[in-house]
Amino acid sequence: MASPRSAGILLFRRDGGETEFLLVHPGGPFWARKDLGAWTIPKGQIEEGEEPRACAIREMEEELGAPPALEPEELIELGAIRQRAGKVVEAWAAEAEFDPAALTSNTFSMEWPPRSGKQQEFPEVDRAEWFDRRAAGEKILPAQAELLDRLLERLESADGERSVPER
């Protein structure tokens, strides 16, 4: 059986020399008391036949509710990572603003409390927040921390290319 595949977008912004990352906290009772190592990039499962970049944009819209408008060609490819449970996450990044107070995530249903027979609705994402690199590294799922480093490497490389004088 193939590993589940997801796609997501790591939003970032630059304030002076500091790069900040937008992370989201999963909703629902399992994640309610978890913080360090629990946050993630907005992401979701790639549907059969769906183009991964299109999935990443769709999932960002579903999880944030009022995301910045992005076109697939604007995205910076970060590659794929494998999470501890085996899920493969294909990721991109985009420089954009988002106000965490505007978060209006879609919801999911689950039986809660367990074995109660009662279905309850929970937001897929219950919080969004901007973090600097140090804080983001503490908050994000360990396997996804590599995405932060990949983005910073690409940004440094791109900034270096721009600062090279033309001949």
pLDDT at position 163? 45
- DSSP code of residue 68: P
The alpha-carbon radius of gyration of the chain (Å, integer) is: 17
Q: Which of 35, 150, 10 is nearest to 93 (CA)?
A: 10
Closest to 66 (Cα-Cα) out of 125, 120, 113, 137: 125
The pTM of the whole model exceeds 0.95: no
CATH of segment(s) 8-50+69-143? 3.90.79
Mean confidence (pLDDT) of the chain: 92
The DSSP H or E segment spanning 128 is strand 125-131
Q: What is the predicted pLDDT for the residue at 159?
A: 75
pLDDT at site 32: 92
Distance CA 163, CA 130 (A): 28
Phi, psi of 148, deg, nearest 5: -60, -45
Q: In this predicted model, what pLDDT tens digit does every residue of 85-109 receive, in sequence order?
A: 899 999 999 999 999 999 999 999 9
Going from N- to C-terminal start, the domains of the chain cover 8-50+69-143
pLDDT in tens, 14-36: 988 899 999 999 999 999 999 99
